[in-house]
């Protein structure tokens, strides 16, 4: 693998930068935590191609049966040393530490979606053990996939709660691993926004699958439960209505666009990967809700097939990805199916014209 970038984090840099610039003494801890998290984000975001064999960094052995779920939870105990001390292994009893047990359950829920909905044997489709490290750093304001494992901070307590609280966040970050082992989108520009969007899509599906929620019952939010009650906001992002997840005096307003006419051309955030991902996110939401039922049975398999079919380049554009989803909908459901029609209409609605 030569194109992907590890260190993909759930909280975008523009949010951390806004927090870091605060001079309000009431948010002093949050500002200090954001400044430190920005530094750590740079340290832990490795350039493309550094880790050619991510599994080599794992401490857990692969199972004999690739379909078997194998989880290991480690505790960094406030340090930034990975992986930390092992606190729970597969089949072990709950620890009583909410972060450890939420991480354990979240890894299991993600594995279950991949296996039951898509027939995938873990992240790499070859039985990769799932590892997570909790209590990373001091008031660390993020969670990230480092190319081999999930890493969770505890939040600053003023703006962010512990990052294991949100199942969609766990699903999102682990899904960066699925991208890493499949299309491996370059983490910049439109391909980077697709990387983030696919992670959001499967993060939402993990949460919906675990709760057995239909597309019309789901919140379509990423990161519910991360904000403290001092923040005016529901989550980090909304697939249903990009740009509406939060509107707060401290954090500002969610800046995500949901249509190509509002595409943000910027050098920040790796070319706006956390911003412009709102456009393909909205396309998936439209396709899923138009098809109806459980999204992991309708639009989900279409997006998964598009991602894993091997016909996309690592630098895929929105239009190229859209074209592949249209092709996947045709091959999975037929050209005259409501699924195919829903996918075409969804991309058209967000201003993306599928092109080969």
Percent of the chain scoring above 70 in pLDDT: 93
- Residue-wise pLDDT for 242-295, tens only, equals 999 999 998 999 999 999 999 999 999 999 999 999 999 999 999 999 999 999
Query: Where do the structural domains in the chain lie, given as residue ranges?
Result: 8-180, 189-349
Tell me if 156 sits within 8 A of 29, measured CB to CB: yes
Catalytic-residue membership of 176 = no
Q: How far apart are CA 137 and CA 14, in angstroms?
A: 21
Identify the CA nearest to 48 among candidates 171, 152, 153, 191.
Answer: 191
| pLDDT for residue 37 | 85
CA distances, 90 to each of 122, 131, 179 (Å): 14, 10, 25
Identify the CA nearest to 142 among candidates 5, 277, 7, 6.
Answer: 7
User: How far is C-alpha 316 from the geometric centre of its chain's CA atoms?
Assistant: 18
Q: What is the pTM of this model?
A: 0.93
Catalytic-residue membership of 274 = yes
Tell me if 353 sits within 8 A of 262, measured CB to CB: no
252-253 and 247-248 beta bridge pairing:
antiparallel
pLDDT at 1 over 90: no
- Find where tokens 């037929």 sit: 334
- Residue-wise pLDDT for 139-189, tens only, equals 999 999 988 899 999 999 999 999 999 999 999 999 999 999 999 999 999
Mean pLDDT, all residues of the chain: 92
Question: Which of 22-26, 98-102, 305-309 has the lowest average pLDDT?
Answer: 22-26
Q: Of residues 102, 131, 161, 173, which has the active-site annotation?
A: 173
| Neighbouring-strand partners of residue 151 | 133, 144
Supply the Cα-derived Rg of the chain in whole angstroms.
19
Tell me if 12 sits within 8 A of 269, measured CB to CB: yes
Confidence of residue 52 (pLDDT cuts 50, 70, 90): very low
Instruction: Tell which CATH architecture fits domain 189-349.
Output: Orthogonal Bundle (1.10)
Q: Of residues 36, 44, 274, 285, which has the active-site annotation?
A: 274
Enumerate residues 6+ apart whose C-beta is below 8 A from 16.
34, 37, 38, 41, 141, 142
Q: Which CATH class, in words, describes the domain spanning 8-180?
A: alpha beta
- H or E element in which residue 281 lies: helix 278-291
């Amino acid at each position: 693998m030569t194109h992907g970038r590890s260190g993909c984090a759930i909280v975008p840099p523009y949010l951390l930068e806004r927090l870091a610039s605060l001079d309000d003494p009431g948010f002093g801890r949050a500002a200090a935590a954001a400044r430190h998290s920005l530094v750590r984000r740079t340290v832990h975001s490795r350039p493309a191609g550094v880790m050619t064999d991510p599994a080599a960094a794992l401490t857990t052995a692969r199972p004999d049966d690739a379909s078997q779920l194998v989880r290991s939870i480690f505790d960094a105990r406030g340090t930034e040393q990975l992986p930390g001390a092992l606190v729970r292994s597969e089949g072990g009893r709950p620890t009583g530490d909410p972060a450890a047990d939420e991480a354990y359950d979240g890894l299991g829920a993600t594995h279950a979606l991949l296996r039951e909905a898509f027939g995938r044997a873990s992240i790499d489709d070859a039985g990769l053990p799932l590892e997570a490290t909790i209590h990373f750093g001091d008031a660390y304001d993020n969670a990230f996939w480092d190319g081999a494992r999930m890493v969770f901070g505890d939040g600053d307590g003023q703006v962010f709660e512990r990052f294991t609280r949100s199942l969609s966040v766990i699903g999102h970050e682990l899904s960066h691993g699925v991208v890493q082992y499949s299309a491996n989108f370059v983490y910049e520009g439109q391909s980077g926004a697709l990387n983030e969007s696919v992670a959001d899509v499967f993060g939402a599906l993990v949460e919906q699958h675990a709760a057995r929620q239909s597309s019309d019952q789901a919140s379509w939010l990423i990161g519910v439960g991360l904000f403290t009650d001092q923040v005016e906001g529901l989550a980090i992002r909304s697939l249903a209505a990009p740009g509406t997840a939060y509107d707060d005096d401290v954090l500002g307003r969610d800046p995500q666009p949901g249509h190509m006419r509002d595409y943000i051309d910027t050098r920040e955030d790796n070319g706006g990967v956390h911003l412009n991902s709102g456009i393909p996110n909205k396309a998936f939401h439209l396709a899923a809700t138009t098809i109806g039922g459980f999204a992991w049975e309708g639009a989900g398999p279409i997006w998964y097939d598009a991602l894993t079919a091997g016909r996309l380049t690592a630098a895929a554009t929105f239009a190229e990805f859209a074209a592949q989803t249209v092709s996947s909908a045709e091959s999975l459901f037929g050209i005259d199916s409501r699924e195919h029609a829903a996918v075409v209409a969804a991309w058209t609605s967000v201003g993306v014209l599928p092109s080969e």
